[in-house]
Amino acid sequence: MREFERDKWGRLLERVLQSPTGVDVKELDEWFHNGLPSLVLDQGELVLRDPVAAYRSYVALLRETIVAHAVGATALVELGAGYGSVLLGVAADPALARCQLTAAELTPSGRRLTKLVAAATGMLVEAVECDLEAESIMQLTPAPGSIIFTSFALMYLNRLPSVFFERVASWRPSMVIHVEPCTEHSDTQTILGLLQRRYAEVNGYNLTIASDICAAQAQGIVEVTLSEPNWVGTNPLLPGSLIMWRPVHRASG
């Protein structure tokens, strides 16, 4: 938590509070993602791209993916929302205009940033405390029919709690979308694949996300509707796979 509360979102918050021009999510993104052009992974292809442009391309791709399931959605909920940039970027699409927006985030600085940025853009977002390792995850219960997503958030948990998928499924979402690094999807027959696996190991990232989702499906908790290995990533050593699932509705009695 300290890495994000103080070193990442905390520093962004300080810059925002000290800025005489107020809050602008595009400027925040430029502050956070600035750097020299580098290789990124875009739908399985390695390309050279400016990091800010790569990030915005990722948000656009995720927005397109989520909008495809927007019909009838009641809310859009991001678990592990950081400073809210991804959620707000996705929610900017008119197809999601009627959705309630919830940014669920562990850090106080991330939640405060989200509120500031949302207010500056005229969007109504509920920023709530969220602990992905807790059994309840968060106190707020999303409306049935919500689209729930994570974006490079589950990777920071050493292990997903055994009740994680049961809890999310109990909210009766219309779709759950994960963009998360899955080491199981790294090709150990290539140098890049071996580097990806080693990178995740050295940095202590979760190594079993895809396996845990498969286990939840085998237990009859979720139904995986799509799995795209190594879909996208601003860091080619940490590509996010796209995995989508729906809860399995069990007959009562």
Amino acid 250: pLDDT = 61
* Three-class DSSP category at 174: coil
Label residues 188-205 b or e (16+ Cβ within 10 Å = b). Answer: eeeeeeeebbebbeeeeb
3-state helix, strand, coil in the chain (%, to 5): 40, 25, 35
Residue 108 lies inside a defined structural domain of this protein: yes
* Three-class secondary structure of residue 199 per DSSP: helix
Cα→Cα distances 140→99, 104, 137, 169, Å: 16, 9, 9, 14
Q: Give the tens place of pLDDT for each residue, 161-183.
A: 989 999 999 999 999 999 999 99
Q: Count CB-CB contacts under 10 A for residue 36.
A: 6
Tens of pLDDT, residues 124-151: 999 999 999 999 999 899 999 999 999 9
Domain count for the chain = 1
With respect to residue 192, please indicate whether it lies within any of the assigned structural domains. yes
**Residue 94 resides in a domain:** yes
The stretches in the chain having pLDDT less than 50 are 252-253
Domain with 205 in it: 2-247
pLDDT at site 253: 41
Task: Measure the CA–CA gap between 5 and 105, rounded to whole angstroms.
Answer: 11
Neighbours of 250 (CB within 10 A): 8
Does residue 253 sit within a domain? no
Structural domain includes residue 117? yes
Q: What is the pLDDT of residue 5?
A: 79
Average pLDDT in the chain = 92
Q: Is residue 252 included in any domain, yes or no?
A: no
Nearby residues of 23 by Cβ (< 8 Å), 6 or more positions away: 16, 116, 117, 119, 120
Distance CA 93, CA 67 (A): 8
Which CATH number covers residue 138? Answer: 3.40.50.150
Question: Residue 222: inside a domain, yes or no?
Answer: yes
Specify the pLDDT at position 252.
Answer: 47
- Measured at the CA of 206, the angle between CA 202 and CA 211, to 5 degrees, comes to 130
